[in-house]
Every structure is written in structure tokens, then in C-alpha cells.
Chain A
Amino acid sequence: MSDDRANNLDVLSRRVNWKSTQMRARVRRRYWADRLFRLSGFSAVVIAGLFLLFLLGNIIQNGISGFMQTSIEIDIAFDPTLLPDPTLPPDQFSAALARADMQRLLRQALMAEFPNVSGRRDIIQLTRMLSSGARAQLRQVILKDPSVIGTTKRVRILASDEVDQVMKGNIDVGVSEENRKLQDKELAWLGRFQQEDRVSLSFHSRFITGGDSREPELVGVRGAITGSALTLLVTLLTAFPVGLAAAIYLEEFAPRNRFTDIIEVNINNLAAVPSIVFGLLGLAFFLGFMGMARSAPLVGGLTLALLTLPTIIISARAAIAAVPGSIRDAARGLGASPMQVAFHHVVPLAMPGIMTGTIIGMARALGESAPLLMIGMVAFIVDVPGGVNDPATVLPVQIYLWADSPERAFIEKTSAAIMVLLFFLISMNGLAIWLRQRFERKW
């Protein structure tokens, strides 16, 4: 072989015999190797794509049912002896209503449905099929229309999370009784409701409009969305002006010297600092040194502003640098001062690029959770925050909190919250892409 090869490749003495079988085999081998190489490259791209598809598909598959919730229609007899007099003035009426024993109303209704269920424990179990939010639901019904008092009306009442999970098929009812949350008799009760077509799965608006809760069927993302919005507002209001000013200075005014070099290197390095380190800075500076309130969007927003500032500066600089020098020369020639050149001409022309970079930076801040854990935005907060100093949490941290909850029903709620988060992220990135394509000029 080695002799043959020497013969075939002896280019100094004679030409290579490409027709020889050895050379043909060799060429074929090399082409095969190339094809294999190409295939590995292709499969790397495909694998990455499949990962993404699997991730998103998995989230959507788990999460889509999180927007739905099971309700059971129950005939409630609005017993006037348990409820306040509807002829009372409205404020007294609602105060009395808040004290009224709704649990008893529910219990009576359920006992009327199932006359042969007796015994304290069974009755408690029966009422447990309904959500603990049922009382508030009844109160709402009465408040809306006090004339129901004294009548019997069919009301749609939220089922408990376990019933809901059975309805969605997330709990396997085939396993033996002691291994599942819902017992056989509860399934039988549920079966009767189902037979009468009184169990329904429908869109659950509370998930969008409600705050956090311990009960999966009562949770909502509005508190977290509001927290995220307030936090991002603080971030935007601080990081955007400062980042823009820094970019203008570095591109238009800064002398080229060692010091500005240091600033540049420093900004590039800051962009790669782990986000959790910014959290530590926020903790030490804003909470420790400045003594600001824990868990507040103000502190969260300022911390995220530190995090997004390098991103905004880098992209704003790129956008400003892309404005051609002829614009500056023309403005200078017409007598504009350097400041006027920058603010009247360069910055407006660079604005689409700056906005694009800012939105992308904001999207990154929206998905960030680690630094916010450091400054205590990880508390259980039921109320929707009303201002930047109220305790709040943000959407990614809410996801983290729900992911930690043991109830089966929180899986779909977490996935649904992720879908909401991804929706906002996609919208923001879409807006950035649109801005870029619509307004960005090619010089």
C-alpha cells in the first residue's frame, strides 16, 4: 500500500494517476468524510431547533389548560335566615354580608344534592370538592343581585384544584385509592354532577385578573404583571436616560485617551458579569447602604437598571456610530454647536437603533429573576401592588415560586404563567424587530 501510494503521489517525478483504484477510493473517502461533516453540522442545527421545539411544546402542552378551570353548577338556596336583609342600606348590607356564613349556605346546598351523605367527615369532604374561593363567589352573586335572597338559584361554583385536575386528566384515576388525592366516593359525587352535565371547563379570567393565592384554582398573574411593569418602568426611566447620555458622550465628545479606553473595556466587562452579582450589589447598596424598602419595585427596578445599562450603552453607541459623518459635518458647517449636532441631528437619526437596543435590554430585564431574589422580591404577595414602594413580585419570580409549590395543579399554572411571560417577551422582541425594519436607515 505504501509503495502504491508513493507511486500515486509522487508528484515530483510524474503526474498523479487519479484514475487508479487507490486514488478513486481515496477521493471517495474524502467526499464521504465531507458529507459526514456536513451532516453533523446540519444535525447540530436541527438538534438545537428540536430542543427549542421540545421546550416550547412542553410548556404549551402543560400550560394551555392552566387558563381553564373547572366549575360545578350547584343549586344554592339563598336562605334568608342566614343572609342579611336585602332592604338594608347598601353599605350595611355588604358589611353584614361579609359576616354571613357562606360556608353553611354551601354545605346546605350540597347536602340537599346528596341527601344520603351523612357524617361530619363526609360532609366536610363534600364541601372540599369546591374551591375555598366559593364563599367569595357566592358573596359576589348576592352583592350583584340581592333579590336572590329567599330564592333558589343555580350558581356556577369553582371546583377545588383536585377535582379540576381529575377533569383535565392530569390525575390518573386508575391508580389505587390510597395513592391519589381524590377518593372513590368523591369521584362518585363528581360522576353524578358529570352525568347531569353540570361540570364545565371554561376560560378562567381570574388567572389574568387576579393576584397570587395559596390555592392553585384562585391564583392569577395580575399582581406579578403589575410588579413587572412597575419594575420595568423604574428600569426604563433610569437606565435609558443615563445609558443614552453615556453613549452620546462616548461616541461624540469623549477624547480618545486611556481613561475612555478604561470606560469602554469596563462597559464590555460589565455586560458579562453574572446577573446575581448585580443582585448582591443591589442588596449591599440600595438595601444596606441606602436603607430602601425590601421587595419594592423601586429597588428591583434600580438593580435591573444597573444590569441593563451596559446593554443599552453598547447598542446606543452602535446606533450613534452608524450615523454618517457627513450629517455631522453638514450641521457643523451650518453653525450648529457640537451639542446641537448631537441632540438635533445625530440622536434623532440614531433613535430607531437606540430604541431597538433599549427594548431588547428591557426584554432581558423582564426575564431576569436571580438578582431580584437577592433583594427580597420573592415574598408571597396577594395584593396587586399600587406603587413603586409597595411589596411586589415579578413574573419570573412568580414562576419560580409556583414551580416550587407541591400541588399538582401548580404545574399547569406555572406553565401558563410562562406562556404569559413568553408572550410579553415575544411582543417586545417583535416590536424591536418591527422598529428596526420600519425605521432604521441604511446609509
Chain B
Amino acid sequence: MTNATIVVVLALMALIAFAVVRQRSVALVAGATDQLHSLPRYHGYYAALMVALPGLVVLVLWLISGKYIVENLILSGLPSALVDANAERLDLLVNRIRLIAENGVGLETDDAILDAAARFNSLYGRGIAATLVLTMAAAGAGYLYAVGKVAPLFRARTRFEKILHSMLALSSFLAIGITIGIIGSLIFESLRFFQQVPLEEFIFGLKWSPQTALRVDQIAAEGSFGAVPLFAGTFLISLIAMVVAGPIGLFAAIYLTQYASPRTRNFAKPILEILAGVPTVVYGFFAALTVAPLFRDLGMTLGLDIASESALVAGVVMGIMIIPFVSSLSDDALMAVPDAMKEGSLALGATPAETVMKVLLPSALPGIASAFLLAASRAVGETMIVVMAAGMRPNLTANPLEAVTTVTVQIVALLTGDQEFNSTKTLSAFALGLALFVTTLMLNIFALRLVRRYRQVYE
């Protein structure tokens, strides 16, 4: 029996409630449904909701708290010697028990832990059984309530629609919930990080080497968490990307809005969009496998020493990826300039190029600037290309031919593979994530502001 069983049972009960209550409402008026306030099916819907909602509440409570309850029960039942020996890392002990409980005995030899794992499974099984009973009880109560309510003048539809309305509203509040979740979890974990590493060191420190000692008694180098090299690397790569994508994207937008025939436009625009649709892991592979050797050979003929993982390669490939962001947003900005301004300029004898440079670009400037900002925010947050092509070594340099690392690369490096959830190393990834989130959010908000102000000028 698993949690899925409970869902199935609940769904079945809701279905039965729907059928029974719908039938009952018809029977109440002996088939003359025009005497009902609500159509029979609304009586059914209402009953189904009355059954499903209380059951779901119980189920969700169990899903959130079940494992914690069982863990605490297990911990209190462990031999005190074992608990004392692991007093500092009780969470690790719990993890060990849970691993065995979920995946089988493996290499574990400690009888107390094996015993605890067995108890974990039996307790968890009992928990599920209890939840099933409670869910069914809650659903049953809902059913009795709904059946008691059925009457010809009962406003089942109004009630049902009210519940539905609040469910719709709840869904849209979820979007805010996600933001709160992101900010909350990032800040929560970052605060724990900043208890161990001072904020100044993170923001101003020049050395990033997150290797911390595995054991307390180990004399390993204290990890240092100065994030400046990472921000510098991110900035360098994003800058290169913008140098590639900015001119190409802007010129493509100018050509497609001002010069191209509608047919060319219809053909070229989707092709540009495809560039944005290609998964970033494909770009990463392309950068590492094809572009990097190409640049190295090119550099050799020019007498330059380009590292096989260089900021240049990652930046250029990322630039290709964000061309469509620049071009389609600049396209929109250029199209939004009133035709009268463009035609006025042309009528005065300006060439199309002069019209673009002296009339269209200045008036579309806020929109184009926001396009650049949004593209830059994309570049800052991009992960796979830099993971595969930019390198892992923190390197504080402005030389694009060297390998640098970025914030996103370090987040991936810190969090892939099995990690202790509470180590400084893992927590530092959340601090980096917070920095990344704040940076991109500021870029986005600033970009949206620009566009909004610009719109107000013309509409």
C-alpha cells in the first residue's frame, strides 16, 4: 500500500458520491428536474468536492509531516548509546536509516540501525494505513454532509461555483507562492551560510575555494568563499555574449523591420527563433566539441594561446544563443514606433539608414535597451553552456582567452553528486543562487520599467 493507493481510493469515493448524490437529487423531485434549483450534475459535483477536499487535506498533511513524525519516533526508540555517539549529526544517522529502509540492507552492519530501518518501514506502513483510514473518515463525513444537504431548493451550483472560484484564485496565488518559495528558501539557506562565512568575505573576497574539511579534526585548508572571481567570470562571459548578440541581433531586427520584404521576414524570423529553441545543453556540447578546438587552432595560427576551456568560446556560443532575444525584442520596439515618424523622416528625403539612425533608434531606445538588459539577464543565468565550455577553476582575470568560472557553474559543481545538506559548501550554493536571483531580477525589473515608461509616451 502506498500513498498512490490513498489517492485512488479518494478518487473512487468522490466518483461514487457524484453518482449517488446526482441520482438522489433526481429522485427527490421524481425526475422533474425543473423543480431543482441546480441541475442534478451540480448536486453531484458539490458532493464530489465535499468528499475529495477533506480527504485531500488529510492526505497533504500526511505527505508533509509523515516522514518527520516517523523519524522522530525512530530516534526516540534508538539505543541511547547510538544516539549519543552520533549526537552532532543526528540527521546523518536518520539518513542512514532511511536509505536502508528505502533501498534494502546494502553494506550496513549495525544491528541497531537495521532494526531501526525495519521499524521505520513498519511504522511508515502503519502511518499510511492510518492516513487511509483518516482520509476515508474525512471523506465519509463530507459525504454525509453533502447527502444531508440535497434538497430541491438547495443551491448546489452556487455553492460549487464558490468553491471553484476560490480554487481558481488559489491557483493564481500559487504564482506568488513560487516567488515566496524561491526567495524564502534562498534567504533561509543563505542566512545559515552567512552565519558561518561573513558577508564581507563573500562579497569582497578574492579567493573562491569551497573545499572544507570533512572531519572536525582534519587539518585541511579552511575553505574560502570570496565570490568576486565568480562574479567577474560571469560578467566577462556575459559581456562577450552581448558583444556578439548585441550588434547581430540589433542589425537583424533593423533589417527585418525596415528593409526585408514580408516574405523574407516570414522566413527569417522563425529561423532566428529556432536559435532560442535549441536546448542549451546542445550549445554546450557544440561549444566544447566544435567551437573550442576551432578557436584554439585559429589562435595558434594567430600566435595566441587560447585555453581549451575559455571565456571567449563560452561567451561567443552564448551570444549566438541570445541573438533571438535581442532581435525579437528590438523588433517589437522598432515596430512600436508610430509609422508617421518614420514616414515623416523619409518624406523629408532622409535615406532609410538615416531614418533608422536618427529617428527610429532614438525613439525605440528604451525598448532596445530593455531588450539588451533582458538578453544580458538570460546570459547571466545561463548554465549548461558555461558548465560544459567555461571551466571550473576560479580565475580573476579580464583575459577572455583564459578559462574562467561563473556563478552558475559553481552552483552546479557544488550541488551535483551526493552532498551533505548542511555543509558550508552546499549552503554557499544557495548564497550564490540568491546573488544570481537578485541580479537577474534587478535586470528584469529595470528592463520592464524602461518599456513601461516608453509605452506611456506613445499610447
Q: Which of A47, A254, A283, A403 contacts B248 (CB 8 A)?
A: A47
Q: Which of A31, A277, A293, A363 contacts B381 (CB 8 A)?
A: A277
Please give the residue numbers on chain A whose beta carbons come within 8 Å of chain B beta carbons, in ascending order: 30-31, 33-34, 36-38, 40-45, 47-49, 51-52, 55, 58-59, 62, 241-243, 245-250, 253-254, 262-263, 265-270, 272-281, 283-285, 288, 290-291, 293, 306, 309-310, 313, 337-339, 363-364, 366-370, 373-374, 376, 378, 396-397, 399-400, 403, 411, 414-415, 418, 421-422, 425, 429
A403 CB contacts on chain B under 8 angstroms: 281, 284-285, 288-289, 388
Q: Which of B169, B284, B289 contacts A249 (CB 8 A)?
A: B169
Complex contact B383–A276 (CB within 8 A): yes
14 further interface pairs, Cβ-Cβ under 8 Å (given A275-B383, A367-B278, A403-B281): A38-B259, A38-B352, A44-B249, A58-B286, A243-B171, A253-B169, A277-B436, A279-B415, A339-B164, A363-B277, A367-B282, A373-B415, A421-B279, A422-B278
Question: In whole angstroms, how far apart are the Cα atoms of A40 and B258 in the complex?
Answer: 13
B102 CB contacts on chain A under 8 angstroms: 293
Complex contact B259–A266 (CB within 8 A): no
Q: Which of A246, A399, A429 contacts B285 (CB 8 A)?
A: A399
B133, chain A: closest CB distance, angstroms: 23
Q: Which residue of B lies closest to A277 (CB)?
A: B437
Q: Which of A263, A339, A376 contacts B165 (CB 8 A)?
A: A339
Q: Which of A249, A274, A284, A338 contacts B436 (CB 8 A)?
A: A274
B377 CB contacts on chain A under 8 angstroms: 272, 274
- Given A44-B251, A273-B440, A369-B281, residue A284 in contact with residue B185 (CB < 8 A): yes
A-B contact pairs, 15 of them (CB 8 A): A31-B351, A33-B351, A38-B352, A41-B251, A44-B250, A47-B248, A48-B324, A49-B271, A242-B171, A254-B169, A272-B444, A277-B436, A277-B437, A370-B280, A421-B279
Question: In whole angstroms, how far apart are the Cα atoms of A53 and B193 in the complex?
Answer: 46
Complex contact B415–A374 (CB within 8 A): yes
B94, chain A: closest CB distance, angstroms: 10
Q: Which residue of B lies closest to A428 (CB)?
A: B277
B161 CB contacts on chain A under 8 angstroms: 337-339
B411 CB contacts on chain A under 8 angstroms: 276, 280, 374
Complex contact A48–B252 (CB within 8 A): yes
Complex contact A49–B388 (CB within 8 A): no
Question: In whole angstroms, how far apart are the Cα atoms of A367 and B421 in the complex?
Answer: 27
Does B135 interact with chain A (Cβ within 8 Å)?
A: no
Q: Which of B247, B290, B356, B383 contacts A44 (CB 8 A)?
A: B247
A267, chain B: closest CB distance, angstroms: 5
A242 CB contacts on chain B under 8 angstroms: 171, 174
A291 CB contacts on chain B under 8 angstroms: 67-68
Complex contact A400–B433 (CB within 8 A): no
Does B429 interact with chain A (Cβ within 8 Å)?
A: yes
Question: In whole angstroms, how far apart are the Cα atoms of A268 and B68 in the complex?
Answer: 36
Q: Which residue of A lies closest to B350 (CB)?
A: A30
Question: In whole angstroms, how far apart are the Cα atoms of A245 and B87 in the complex?
Answer: 47
B250 CB contacts on chain A under 8 angstroms: 44
A38, chain B: closest CB distance, angstroms: 5
Complex contact B444–A269 (CB within 8 A): yes
B441, chain A: closest CB distance, angstroms: 6
A30, chain B: closest CB distance, angstroms: 5
Question: In whole angstroms, how far apart are the Cα atoms of A358 and B54 in the complex?
Answer: 30
- Given A284-B189, A363-B277, A369-B281, residue A246 in contact with residue B175 (CB < 8 A): yes
Complex contact A246–B171 (CB within 8 A): yes
Q: 9 tightest CB-CB pairs across the interface, nearest first?
A: A274-B381, A41-B255, A367-B279, A44-B251, A245-B171, A284-B185, A37-B353, A370-B383, A246-B172
- Given A44-B248, A269-B179, A418-B285, residue A245 in contact with residue B444 (CB < 8 A): no
Question: In whole angstroms, how far apart are the Cα atoms of A313 and B429 in the complex?
Answer: 30
Please give the residue numbers on chain B whose beta carbons come within 8 Å of chain A beta carbons, in ascending order: 63-64, 67-68, 102, 157, 161, 164-165, 167-169, 171-176, 178-179, 181-182, 185-186, 188-189, 247-252, 254-256, 258-260, 268, 271-272, 274-275, 277-286, 288-290, 320, 323-324, 327, 351-354, 356-357, 374, 377-378, 380-384, 387-388, 408, 411-412, 415-416, 421, 429-430, 433, 436-437, 440-441, 444-445, 448
Q: Which residue of B lies closest to A425 (CB)?
A: B277
Interface SS majority for chain A = helix
A277 CB contacts on chain B under 8 angstroms: 182, 186, 381, 433, 436-437, 440
B165, chain A: closest CB distance, angstroms: 6
Complex contact A274–B383 (CB within 8 A): yes
- Given A272-B377, A274-B381, A400-B388, residue A266 in contact with residue B281 (CB < 8 A): no
Complex contact A253–B168 (CB within 8 A): yes
A246 CB contacts on chain B under 8 angstroms: 168, 171-172, 174-175
B164 CB contacts on chain A under 8 angstroms: 339
B356 CB contacts on chain A under 8 angstroms: 37
B259 CB contacts on chain A under 8 angstroms: 38, 41-42
